[in-house]
Amino acid sequence: MNGKTVVSLVGTLAMLTVAAPAHAYLDPATGSIILQAVIGAIAGATLFLRTSLFRIKALFVRSKPSGEE
């Protein structure tokens, strides 16, 4: 590792060890936003996997010549 990387890692570790506890408040709407983000991520991943599957399947399936049925 070079010197800048070591200094960055030591600095980050030092900041994490002296961090003060956060007294944060999460209102009920925050839970709804998190739930919406999770559902959106699942839907996006499903769409991505399905389209990827169809593309991979298209590589292995032969198409019929245009004149034949």
Q: What is the pLDDT of residues 10-61, one digit of tens each?
A: 999 988 888 777 788 878 888 899 999 999 999 999 999 999 998 888 888 8
| CA-based end-to-end distance of the chain | 63
pLDDT at 3: 83
| pTM of the full structure | 0.50
Instruction: Report the alpha-carbon distance of residue 49 to residue 55 in Å, rounded.
Output: 10
pLDDT at 1: 67
pLDDT at 43: 97
Instruction: Report the alpha-carbon distance of residue 14 to residue 18 in Å, rounded.
Output: 6
pLDDT at 63: 73
